[in-house]
Homo-oligomer: A and B are copies of this chain.
Amino acid sequence: MNANTSFFGDLLTSIADRGRALLDRNSRVSGATKAATLVERCEDLLSGKGEASGVALATDILDRYGRMKTGERIAFFEGLAEQFGPDRDRIEKAIDSFRRTGSDAAVAELHAASEPRRQELFRRFNLAPRATLALVRMRENLMDAMAHRRDLASVDRDFGHLFSSWFNRGFLVLRRIDWSTPASVLEKIIRYEAVHEIRDWADLRARVDSPDRRCYAFFHPALVDEPLIFVEVALMKEPPAAIAPILDQKREHLEPEKATTAVFYSISNCQRGLGGVSFGNFLIKQVVEEISREIPSLTTFVTLSPVPGFGAWLEAERKQDDSRALSPADKEALKALDDPDWAQNEAVRADITPALGAAAACYFLVAKTNRGKPVDPVARFHLGNGARLERINPMGDLSPKGIAQAAGLMVNYRYVLSDIEKNHEAFAGKGEVVASPAVRKLLRADTAPRALVPLP
């Protein structure tokens, strides 16, 4: 049998293997890997030397960078910011020519002249084996550095620009994650889960290897065992009002063909270095297509989502004398929240549910940012995708985290494929929050009008 038998299957592996020899050759380089040397090497890579032996140069640069300490890396970023910007003389000349001729060619030259040299530099970095992942990690380092160094923003912008092109949705691949997925990938699912922590391998298995659970992730061919984003799905008979039964490892399983509702109960971005490149919108819509095909009985697609801004917002409203969101009676009822153990007490829970519901309706439908958008980031994401706010679940997440961030509140967003465009336009164009009648009804008559004044 010939070695070619898994012809296309191997396409990906060879990216990684390529040039290992080269790496070895360079691995004994002296420890004095200073930022200056590295910047010099970058100049070489942009010059003719890069054309003749770009793979080796790029490999060497990333290798040296990999062995640098934090301080050296920041110095290197400074070098990138200062020495690899656009050529300002060339810009001036391009502007003159543009003003003189106004030609398409002059615009093109203006565009080319104003492109930072970093862009081409980063493209050449990518000649090295496994460079794409290394560049994503490099940007993570840069983001850390930027906490104190806003002057590095131009470098970050170039990374963002490049990654938007490279990680174009057309190059992403959706993969189901299950129990026959390589452990190296599963381990990352555990590590990257950002919404409802996966405690251990048994917890993971309950989420990916049960008949009524699904997990899907986007991958990029150049980052093979690194998921970019993933979503966890529960197959149910109706939209759920709370997360605990979903995460319960001992729950009874539902046969998939009896499910009518697919619940997206956790979506996590995996690569901080890809910040600004958005995948979630595409992921949800493709998973809807995928599981609809697999399980034709599914008719309803909802999320069970956290409300990360609600806790702080409610706290603030409760303190405000003239809260536009809470009536005095609400305030009185919500005093129960000051007891850290309130969630243990069934009577208390029943008591405060109406006030929480009303407050939440106000939080979603009335409260706005300066830009006129809902204050909740998760709401902005799903509404922007064309979902509608379907239901408010006051006792949705009574875990310490759920209580801390949202007084236990969770919500369902619902995706109806045929309404997505309309909903999106209403939200994006007019700032309208599309919500179900049930949610709208929660809004107290007295809060609605006052709420027309945008919150700060």
> Which A residues are closer than 8 A to B by beta carbons?
1-16, 18-19, 21-22, 48-49, 51-55, 85-86, 88, 91, 95, 98-99, 102, 104-105, 107-108, 110-111, 114-116, 123, 126-128, 130-132, 153-154, 157, 162, 164-166, 168-171, 173-176, 178-187, 200-201, 205, 219, 221-222, 224-225, 281-282, 285-286, 289, 293, 384-386, 420-421, 423-425, 428-429
| Pair A11/B219 contact, Cβ less than 8 Å | yes
Leading 9 A-B pairs by shortest Cβ distance: A9-B9, A126-B170, A52-B424, A221-B221, A2-B180, A111-B114, A1-B16, A4-B180, A180-B182
The 8 Å CB contact of A114, one of B107, B126, B201, B423, is: B107
| Pair A13/B6 contact, Cβ less than 8 Å | yes
The 8 Å CB contact of A14, one of B86, B98, B175, B384, is: B175
The 8 Å CB contact of A3, one of B6, B108, B176, is: B176
What would 6 A/B residue contacts be, using CB atoms closer than 8 Å? A1-B12, A4-B178, A52-B420, A104-B153, A108-B157, A165-B165
Residues of chain B lying within 8 A (CB to CB) of residue A102: 88
| Pair B12/A154 contact, Cβ less than 8 Å | no
A422 vs chain B, min Cβ distance (A): 8
The 8 Å CB contact of A293, one of B21, B114, B165, B175, is: B21
Once the chains are docked, how many angstroms separate the CA of A18 from the CA of B349?
A: 46
Once the chains are docked, how many angstroms separate the CA of A6 from the CA of B5?
A: 8
| Pair A175/B115 contact, Cβ less than 8 Å | no
The 8 Å CB contact of A5, one of B99, B171, B182, is: B182
Once the chains are docked, how many angstroms separate the CA of A424 from the CA of B200?
A: 47
A55-B282, A98-B91, A170-B132 known; A181 and B4 CB under 8 Å?
Answer: yes
Once the chains are docked, how many angstroms separate the CA of A372 from the CA of B222?
A: 40
Q: Which of A224, A281, A386 has the most CB of B within 10 A?
A: A224
| Pair A386/B182 contact, Cβ less than 8 Å | no
- How many subunits of this chain does the assembly comprise? 4
Residues of chain B lying within 8 A (CB to CB) of residue A184: 2, 179-180
| Pair B4/A6 contact, Cβ less than 8 Å | no
A454 vs chain B, min Cβ distance (A): 21
| Pair B114/A14 contact, Cβ less than 8 Å | no
Residues of chain B lying within 8 A (CB to CB) of residue A225: 1-2, 5, 8, 180
Once the chains are docked, how many angstroms separate the CA of A377 from the CA of B116?
A: 31
Once the chains are docked, how many angstroms separate the CA of A16 from the CA of B173?
A: 9
A183 vs chain B, min Cβ distance (A): 5
| Pair B10/A221 contact, Cβ less than 8 Å | no
A91-B110, A123-B168 known; A173 and B14 CB under 8 Å?
Answer: yes
| Pair B123/A18 contact, Cβ less than 8 Å | no
| Pair A18/B179 contact, Cβ less than 8 Å | no
A7-B180, A179-B182 known; A222 and B12 CB under 8 Å?
Answer: no
| Pair B2/A5 contact, Cβ less than 8 Å | no
A371 vs chain B, min Cβ distance (A): 15
Residues of chain B lying within 8 A (CB to CB) of residue A54: 169
Chain B residue at minimal CB-CB distance from A109: B114
A77 vs chain B, min Cβ distance (A): 14
| Pair A11/B173 contact, Cβ less than 8 Å | yes
Residues of chain B lying within 8 A (CB to CB) of residue A16: 1
Residues of chain B lying within 8 A (CB to CB) of residue A181: 4, 7, 182-183
| Pair B179/A2 contact, Cβ less than 8 Å | yes
